[in-house]
Amino acid sequence: KNNQRLFVKHRYRDYSGEQPRPGDRDELEGAGGNSSRTPNAAFPVKLHETLTQIEKDGYGDIIGWLPHGRSFKIHKQKEFAEIILPRYFVMTKKSSFLRQLNLYSFNRFSAGRDQGSYYHEKFLRGMKFLCRRMTRQKVNGNRIRS
């Protein structure tokens, strides 16, 4: 049996130099002096705001941004399901959270120093306006279409 590891090649465009467009409602994190959360926001925007709030609330040891700000990681699975999901999200199951990540095309690092963290090229710390440019895959019955 050949036990070669499979590596998925991803295209990754670096959006870290992007600036908000005139039509972007939310500028860079913290701009405008109002840090209130967006009600009924699309999942990526809400996740971005929530990661910032979780850090402020002292739960960064459970889930948080990695130091480079290009991905986030769930550090403590049990506490995430018991504390974070019911408090910050309308869902109670981790599987529902992971489904949302998949529908918005987040990827998970399976090796290396960022192993287990989730990333998307438009999901960067301090650049919430990019989240509004992320698209959700359409779901028809049991099939997912892009």
The CA distance from 142 to 146, in Å, is 13
pLDDT at 91: 87
Instruction: Enumerate residue ranges in the chain where pLDDT < 50.
Output: 26-36, 39-40
The CA distance from 107 to 10, in Å, is 9
- Its pTM stands at 0.79
pLDDT at 105: 92
Q: Could you count the other beta carbons within 10 Å of the beta carbon of residue 50?
A: 19
Angle in degrees, CA 54, 98, 4, rounded to 5: 120
pLDDT at 29: 41
The DSSP code for 137 is P
